[in-house]
Chains A and B, each alone.
Chain A
Amino acid sequence: MSATHTPLTLYQKLYQQNTITKIDADHVLLYVDFHVLNEYTSPQAFSGLRAKGRRVWRPKSNLAIVDHVNSTRDLELSHMRDAQAAEQIRYLRKNCDEFGIELFDLVDPRRGIEHVAVPEQGMVRPGMVIVCGDSHTTTYGAFGALGFGIGTSDVEHALASQSLVYKPLKDFRVDVHGHLPQGVTAKDLVMNVIGIVGASGATGYAVEFCGSGISALSMESRMTICNMAMECGARAAIIAPDQTTIDYMRQKPRSPSEEILGDWRNYWGHHYTDADAEFDRSIGVDAAKIAPFVTWGTSPDQVVPITGRVPFPEQVENDQSHDAALRALAYMDLVPGTPIQQVTIDHAFIGSCTNSRIEDLRSAADVLRGRNVAPGVRAIVVPGSQSVKRQAEKEGLSSAFKAAGFEWRESGCSMCLAMNDDILPPGSRCASSTNRNFEGRQGRDARTHLMSPAMVAAAAIKGRLTDVRTLGSSA
């Protein structure tokens, strides 16, 4: 920790308090408090440990979860038709068993998408360094923790040494003032930011979201923002902890004691950016002026307000080249100048680590009650965790989804990346509450439009991209 009184950003405090030692001018050795593993980016890491005869440095600092390859129709491994997926799950079981790591297995009631299931267990605390072999590990920044995604070699490194060789990032501040209007969500806010910053505008930066517009948000909304900030290149996204953070942590199975939470300022009160700390880059956003956003292209920064039109390539204003816009228009089969609300869909998907928590499902169910999915549209909702699923069933949300014509599934990553059997056919077009609209992401030659869960529900009802604010209250 710095002995001087140099004002620090929250990000600087976080990485400095976990710095074990300096490696060279650019790198530090960073202590990892908590490591989350999944079945698809960990197998080769465990094999690497075995090949070298290494042990896991501290098994208790690890948790493994099955989420990427499992079917969302039936959670019994014995029923799984995909032999390769089954092998990945069996190998994770064997690895956890032999190395002494806790596993939330397929039928475990605590299982779910890792970035949904881990916070709802109360396992994320301000000030922690948390890593996972998944790019959306930035989600944990919503708690004032430093969370970031790593590849399989670093999964092996973290298992073997409880540390990573880390290059500190530059500091980027996004100051959000004003409040989101009715029908506009945290998803729209972060999509707006990604549109402004560009797909690589925050590469090499840690982004801190702050201001009255962030303080007003729930923890689930904050998680949506920190999760998807990855899509502008941010390796970390952070929000300072406050009373909302602490209140969320209360009553969770593995939260710190009430004694600690009640006295939280004593433990985490210094987890904020000092008044005079300098950021390498800052932008301001007025939340009150944000409309619901959708993507039109094949990169998450290719966004347009739902009231807008498919852009002309020469109008595209970010670090995308003209060629990238042309390529995206061709892949998406869209004509510049078309009002975006005229774009018809044949699939609707609500799910993913960005938007599958209970508040997301509530907002979509509110739109769906008394309405039906348009003919020709296949609509699926995949809750983020088994806990979210149970809660939604208790609140009657599952009935609202099913009555409207949505398929109601078990939890998992599912059609966000389509590693399981939830995959779009070629040529289809999907309104999706996920985080990536890349070519082929949800299925080869399939087209993805990203938006909030409520906007997906609106699109499912109308069979085309629709401004949820114009639907009026449901019957």
Chain B
Amino acid sequence: MTAQAFTKERGIAAPLPAANIDTDIIMPKQFLKTITRENLGDGAFHDLRFNINGTKNPDFVLNKPPYDRAKFLIVGPNFGCGSSREHAVWGILQLGIRAIVGSSFAGIFADNASKNGLLLVALPPAETSILCDQVTCPDCAVLEIDLADQQIYCSGNRTIPFDISPHNKTLLLEGRDHIDLTLAHADDIRAFEAQRLARQSVFAAPSETA
């Protein structure tokens, strides 16, 4: 799938500092029984956003202005842990979130984000905490994130540089189809496969050995 490109975005950042926000919290089970990527915005953080009777939970940060218009999340450690469900990333994007800044992200979630144009910025824990505290003040919650320059511009003229792998940066900046990029290596794959399958008896695809 072709990812949405990310170059430079400016908007409100919402603080979500709890550790270990898992993908069950990000996208509860009842939203997973779909065969499309659509209509997952309602599911994102559903049980935090809505009370059990369906009313809005006024205490949850994404229900409070100005954070109800958030474009970024500043999150706690191990964000996105648990289930591999990519529905979590689709739902976050459909909620209008374009980037997440945190101290650590779970592996599968990070892979899923990069394929869909959701920028993840990993900063040292202390730097993340400072930023989280800063955006907790609604007047200081606007950030600009520039991927090409690898900089976060905060209020008070503060800038925070960040690292990102060249591969992910290219995918995000150009919004490329990641499968097209790989299929440019189709001859290499075929050659490797031929060699691998020559050892058929040991590595044969199990569905061939019945």
- Closest A residue to B181 using CB positions: A165
Establish whether residues A200 and B81, one from each chain, have CB atoms under 8 Å apart when the complex forms: yes
A296 contacts across to B, CB distance below 8 A: none
In this complex, the interface size class of chain A, counting residues with CB under 8 Å from chain B, is 35 or more
Q: In the bound complex, what is the Cα–Cα distance between A213 and B209 (angstroms)?
A: 34
Residues in A with CB closer than 8 Å to B18 are 323-324, 327
Given A44-B35, A150-B111, also A199-B78 (CB < 8 A): yes
Chain B residues in 8 Å Cβ range of A195: none
Please, what's the 1-or-0 string for A386-408, where 1 marks a CB less than 8 Å from any CB in chain B? 00000000000000000000000
> Cβ of A24: which chain B residues have Cβ within 8 Å of it?
165-167
Of A151-159, A272-280, A467-475, the one contacting chain B is A151-159
Residue of A nearest to B35 (CB): A43
Q: Residue among A26, A88, A165 with the most chain B CB within 10 A?
A: A165
The answer to whether A444 touches B47 (Cβ under 8 A) is: yes
Please determine whether A91 and B182 come into contact, CB atoms closer than 8 angstroms.
Answer: no
In A9-31, the 8 Å CB interface with B consists of 18, 20-21, 23-27, 29, 31
Binds B, one of A71-79, A252-260, A365-373: A252-260
Interface centre among A163, A204, A257 (most CB of B within 10 A): A163
- The docked-state distance in angstroms from the alpha carbon of A441 to that of B81 is 13
Given contacts A41-B85, A58-B193, A135-B83, contact A33 B203 (CB under 8 A): yes
Question: Using an 8 Å CB-CB cutoff, how does the interface string of A318-353 with B read, 1 for contact, 0 for none?
Answer: 011101100100000000000000000000000000
Asked whether B198 is an interface residue with its Cβ less than 8 Å from the other chain, the reply is: no
Contacts of B108 in A (CB 8 A): 135, 149-151, 235
B162-210 at interface with A (beta carbon < 8 Å)? 165-167, 177-179, 181-183, 185-186, 188-189, 192-193, 196, 201-203, 205-210
- Chain B residues within an 8 Å CB radius of A233: 78, 81, 106-107
With a CB–CB cut-off of 8 A, which chain A residues contact B85? Answer: 40-41, 151
Q: A267 within 8 Å of B by Cβ? A: yes
Q: Does B112 contact A (CB under 8 A)?
A: yes
Task: Encode contact with B along A240-257: 1 for CB under 8 Å, 0 otherwise.
Answer: 000000000000011111
- Stretch from B22-30, B55-63, B64-72 contacting the other chain: B22-30
Q: A85-B33, A133-B84, A199-B78 are contacts. A440–B178 as well, Cβ < 8 Å?
A: no
Q: A85-B33, A319-B77 are in contact. Are A63 and B111 (CB under 8 A)?
A: no
A204 touches B206 (CB 8 A): no
Least CB distance, B80 to chain A, in whole angstroms: 10
Q: Which of B4-51 contact A (CB under 8 A)?
A: 17-20, 22, 24-25, 28-29, 32-37, 47
Is A209 an interface position by the 8 A CB rule? no
Interface string of A258-294 (1 = CB under 8 A from B): 0010000001100000000000000000000000000
* Interface contact A26-B76, CB-CB below 8 Å: no
Consensus secondary structure, chain A interface: loop
- State how many angstroms separate the Cβ of A219 from the closest Cβ of chain B: 17
Query: Is B183's CB under 8 angstroms from A160's CB?
Result: yes
Which residue in chain B gives the minimum CB-CB distance to A122? Answer: B206
- Whether B206 lies near A260 (C-beta < 8 A) is no
Instruction: Assess whether B24 is in contact with A438, with CB atoms less than 8 Å apart.
Output: yes
What CA separation (Å) do A321 and B75 show in the bound complex? Answer: 13
Give chain A nearest CB distance to B205 CB in angstroms. Answer: 4
Chain B: CB-nearest residue to A267 = B202
A161 with B189, Cβ < 8 A, contacts A47-B35, A151-B111 known: yes
Kindly identify which residue among B81, B89, B192 contacts A20, using a CB–CB cutoff of 8 Å. B192
Known: A152-B86, A162-B193. A60 touches B52 (CB 8 A): no
A222 at the interface (CB under 8 A from B): no
Cβ-based interface call for A426 (8 A): yes
A417 and B205 contact, CB distance less than 8 A: no
If A40-B32, A162-B189, A323-B18 touch, does A26 touch B167 (CB 8 Å cutoff)?
yes
* Interfacial chain A residues near B22, Cβ < 8 Å: 436, 438-439
Would you mind naming 6 contact pairs between A and B with Cβ atoms under 8 Å apart? A29-B185, A62-B205, A157-B182, A324-B76, A419-B33, A436-B82
Which residues of B come within 8 Å of A, CB atoms? 1, 17-20, 22, 24-25, 28-29, 32-37, 47, 52, 76-78, 81-86, 89, 104, 106-109, 111-112, 115-116, 165-167, 177-179, 181-183, 185-186, 188-189, 192-193, 196, 201-203, 205-210
Known interface pairs A150-B84, A153-B111, A323-B19; 18 further A-B residue pairs with C-beta atoms within 8 A, sorted by A's residue number = A27-B165, A41-B86, A43-B35, A44-B35, A52-B177, A63-B207, A124-B206, A127-B203, A135-B83, A151-B85, A151-B89, A151-B108, A163-B185, A199-B19, A200-B77, A200-B104, A254-B210, A438-B24
